[in-house]
Structure 1
């Protein structure tokens, strides 16, 4: 079968190769083989390939955390009715290959009314957004700030917060050609490349400060968000797009907000596999209603993935690429 393989850590476009590898062996007890139908590329894939998670990443590696497929073979102990079922095969990377072998308990059934090009994006961004809003945006919250507001997950957060009557303030780098999705959902959008942006943000949030900050940038921008968050507010840190960690003062300064380090992996692995369908139920409902959708900028066959990632324009523009593993 075809698989996208990384033999050693590095920059994704430099180290990824698509090649023929041995197909998965017959599934063992409790296992299934899933024929991958669609998958995509996320910043989390790039971070993993870089070697940042050295203690839990081994090479060679087939990347890909988000994808949808069809169960094509079942091992002993797996109900025969599972054959032919569309699922999200979770629990590990490996979506960038034509077949993935895994324990059946990691397979989340996908509702029949969700197309493949919707279901394949259900995990990383929508589940993160739904979980963080449910967990940290309590009644009475008004001043909410979202960094990297032009990102897909920034748009998801704005969509969910608006439904709760909260218009968030977006913080962006001011990258040319990048704008927030649905500007009407945002109370304001502040560019960190403009002078006086901190003062403008402080004026918008008022003397109380930020009630909830959702930060996936880290570094000094994340530290600024943390400093502007109310002492009884919540600073939620869930990504590191800047490549720089939060300064130590975010965790040790007196009178600061509660700092929550949100990792989707902890939620999925910590809740136990029996609760996976329950975790995804609100996500599927939102997707069914046409919400939390991810635009597809281009469809790429697995065989052309490495070439696409090496192209100068790869990863730019609106939407994400959809990988079709079977071509």
Structure 2
């Protein structure tokens, strides 16, 4: 097998494409032949030693991937050789093969292509957990999605619309706003050229959004929170925009609003049955055509460093997927 090996987490340039012995699955594991692996923001942080999870060196990055089971370890009964699965394990995806814990593998129904499957779990699980579980979103409510043209943002638009909500999508270019409208967003805000608070006031007739989905952080967090509706829920999803913002705590008090943390990974670990039920619902929604990953582009696995550069340019709409 071959894989991108991180022996020193000083950044993307330190990754090397190496031939490695193909491993044998231990008890509870499966060996997967990887067909596709998506690039997520944590995949950049982890090779820079900036992610909360710090794997033992050396490691193969690539948190999310899809492929075919080539061998099963002792005790694995729900997966068979030749079965198509998707997996989010945190590492291992940027190669031709990997070992994965069988319990982390999501069996794929017929007609679920590997490229879509590799771009599915992290964004849709995060967005479903955020909007359904943490925000208790109701039909008819208004959701503001920040960073709406990215991976989790596009998933959030689709899930909110599937739940009957009104969606205001905020993004940094007119092209990204057009993408959001094509996914069902009811209105868009280009926050490079428009004042976020003024636009929200106009679009919500002064009421403000009921739910704010924020995977960006940075400079827009405070003005967005100042615009939130009474009893609004502000979802803290991530900080792709850079600095972790500091919000004045009088703002939740004045609006009777909630500041809600979203950590899907720990939800999946602590509440596995609830997570499994959620994933089953998402797979069903995919089959019904309610949700579908937005693929910016696919690139050969050998071009991983170029893919990282593309992601770093903030020009990505949806997900980048590496293919073998």
Relative to the length of structure 2, the TM-score reads 0.86
Query: Displacement of 1:59 after TM fit?
Result: 3.4
Name the CA shift for 1:163/1:5 in 2 (closer, same or farther; >3 Å). same
Name the CA shift for 1:33/1:16 in 2 (closer, same or farther; >3 Å). same
Corresponding position of 2:302 = 303
- Which segments of 5 or more consecutive residues in structure 1 lack a partner in the other structure? none
Aligned length: 321
Corresponding position of 2:110 = 112
Indicate the larger mover: 232-241 or 220-229. 220-229
Corresponding position of 1:270 = 270
Name the CA shift for 1:248/1:206 in 2 (closer, same or farther; >3 Å). same
Corresponding position of 1:161 = 160
1: CA distance, partners of 2:252 / 2:121:
34
Q: Is the 8 A contact 2:218 2:241 kept in 1?
A: yes
Counting only pairs closer than 5 Å after superposition, residues 1-327 of structure 1 correspond to structure 2 as 1-12=1-12, 14-24=13-23, 26-54=24-52, 56-79=54-77, 82-135=80-133, 136-139=135-138, 141-174=140-173, 177-181=175-179, 183=181, 185-194=184-193, 196-249=195-248, 254-256=253-255, 257-272=257-272, 277-310=276-309, 316=315, 318-325=317-324
**C-alpha RMSD over aligned residues:** 2.8
For residues 48-78 of structure 1, give each alpha carbon's deviation from its aligned partner in whole angstroms, at most 9, with x where no partner exists: 2232225544433311122112221122222
Indicate the larger mover: 74-83 or 213-222. 74-83
Q: Is the 8 A contact 1:137 1:212 kept in 2?
A: no
Name the SS of the counterpart of 1:108 in structure 2: strand
1: CA distance, partners of 2:130 / 2:219:
22
Query: Displacement of 1:244 after TM fit?
Result: 0.9
2: CA distance, partners of 1:80 / 1:206:
52
2: CA distance, partners of 1:182 / 1:231:
26
Name the CA shift for 1:259/1:196 in 2 (closer, same or farther; >3 Å). same
Name the SS of the counterpart of 1:232 in structure 2: coil
- Which segments of 5 or more consecutive residues in structure 2 lack a partner in the other structure? none
